[in-house]
Amino acid sequence: MPDVHVVGIGADGWPGLSATAQAAVLAADVLLGSRRQLSLVPAFEGERLPWPSPLMPALPGLLAARRGRRVCVLASGDPMHHGIGAAIVRILGPDRVTVLPHASSMSLACARLGWPMEEVEVVGLVGRPVENLHPYLTPGRRLLILGAGAATVAGILSSRGYEESRLTVLEQLGGPDERVVRGSAASPWPGGDPLAIVAVECAGTTVLPAVPGLPDDAYLHDGQLTKREVRAVTLARLAPAPGQLLWDVGAGAGSIAIEWMRAHRSCRAVAVESDPSRAAGVRANSTALGVPDLSIVEGRAPAALAGLPEPDAVFVGGGLTEPGVVEACWAALSPGGRLVANAVTLESEAVLATWHAKVGGDLTRIEVSRAGPVGGFTAWRPALPVVQWSAVRP
């Protein structure tokens, strides 16, 4: 018998629950949920326990203290989609939890809007910075946004030139007080019901693609920036994959870490930068480009690397000639981990040549020229060549 039942409940409350879900609630000794959710269950006679704030740090203790009792947790809609159900399963394991989902607010929203769910991107902003919305803004894209009000979403859209985007706010979906409000990002949006989804049909012309190689002028920098073409090659070698962690050592403007995280919403990165003003620039860039969760460590490698979580890939963009930097980065990688380092000076090239001879990998010289004016004509202006060493830890 599972320790915990997790029951999804919608704005339609108790009458909207299936007979199986109602039976799970009534059979419980303890009913947990938000105060709003608990108020939707009039017939329960056991212990009602509203969630504390903050919830997540307290959740393991709450469950452990009620071991051996029949516990039922109320959740919004589908508990396994941006919901408490997933957190409880992580704590207790799937064998000790039974989840009884309700129609999710996303399903109800798509039904009201006539949008096929497979063509919609769900953006969860509950407890997360609203700047995470930036990477999703491309012309014609349809978004369902959870955890941010219409006025906040409209502000982000307008800041990116998407003020013509159509917004639909869907409140209390499935309940007796359901309401739908339509407008644009340029419309005034007073505060609304907190139980709402903001649907967006993106309309704009600015595109910042998810693939590596954003324009150089997308970044604030003082010249310490891996240039666009070299950045694209570097990210291809680093091979970002969902859920993996990158160390960006000698981050400069943070462009490698930022574009690693933009590759997939679950990609994580740590930017290590010793210069305080550049570290501040990394923070500004990560926020403006939609990855405000980028971790920034202000310090000099290799000392600053101590205690960092184990990386799946490492990029060394600065500090190659510092004793112990490459050694520490290589040692931190597990088998299959990737290390990429770029050099523009003879001294740092020598370091890479030594490591290439020692452990193998690929040594590549990247030369980029851009057309520019020469008098009344046009000629190629070469950038400094970059020597790149990439290797996979055996």
**Domain harbouring 112, CATH code:** 3.30.950.10
Same structural domain, 89 and 115: no
Q: Which domain holds residue 359?
A: 216-392
Please write the tens of the pLDDT for every residue from 175-203.
Answer: 999 999 999 999 999 888 888 999 999 99
Please write the tens of the pLDDT for every residue from 152-178.
Answer: 999 999 999 999 999 999 999 999 999
Same structural domain, 356 and 221: yes
Mean pLDDT of 189-218: 91
Same structural domain, 73 and 127: no
Beta strands (DSSP E) in 243-384 are 245-249, 268-273, 295-298, 313-316, 338-343, 362-366, 369-374, 377-382
Q: Report the candidate in 205, 121, 106 with the shortest Cα–Cα distance to residue 165.
A: 205
Please write the tens of the pLDDT for every residue from 83-138.
Answer: 899 999 999 999 999 999 999 999 999 999 999 999 999 999 988 999 999 999 99
Please write the tens of the pLDDT for every residue from 45-84.
Answer: 899 999 999 999 999 999 999 988 999 999 988 899 878 9
CATH number at residue 237: 3.40.50.150
211 within a domain of the structure (yes/no): no
| pLDDT at 1 > cutoff 80 | no
Same structural domain, 252 and 362: yes
Residue 83, phi then psi, degrees to nearest 5: -125, 175
Same structural domain, 23 and 67: yes
CATH number at residue 84: 3.40.1010.10
- State the pLDDT confidence band at 243, using cuts at 50, 70 and 90: very high
Same structural domain, 151 and 42: no
Count of structural domains within the chain:
3
Same structural domain, 151 and 94: no
Same structural domain, 335 and 223: yes
Mean pLDDT across the chain, nearest whole number?
94
Entry pTM: 0.87
210 within a domain of the structure (yes/no): no
- State the pLDDT confidence band at 246, using cuts at 50, 70 and 90: very high
Same structural domain, 133 and 259: no
Q: Give the side-chain half-sphere CA count within 13 A for 262.
A: 27
Same structural domain, 276 and 381: yes
Same structural domain, 249 and 362: yes
Same structural domain, 128 and 81: no
285 within a domain of the structure (yes/no): yes
Please write the tens of the pLDDT for every residue from 319-355.
Answer: 999 999 999 999 999 999 999 999 999 999 999 999 9
Last residue of a domain, one of 201, 232, 252: 201
Check residue 2 and give its pLDDT: 64
207 within a domain of the structure (yes/no): no
CA dihedral 236, 239, 240, 246 (to 10 degrees): -100
Question: Do the beta carbons of residue 336 and residue 310 sit within 8 Å?
Answer: no
Token digits of residue 241:
């994959």
- State the pLDDT confidence band at 364, using cuts at 50, 70 and 90: very high
What percent of the chain has pLDDT above 70? Answer: 99
54 within a domain of the structure (yes/no): yes
| pLDDT at 218 > cutoff 90 | yes
Last residue of a domain, one of 103, 129, 164: 103
Last residue of a domain, one of 201, 229, 264: 201
127 within a domain of the structure (yes/no): yes
340 within a domain of the structure (yes/no): yes
380 within a domain of the structure (yes/no): yes
Check residue 311 and give its pLDDT: 98
Mean pLDDT of 237-264: 97
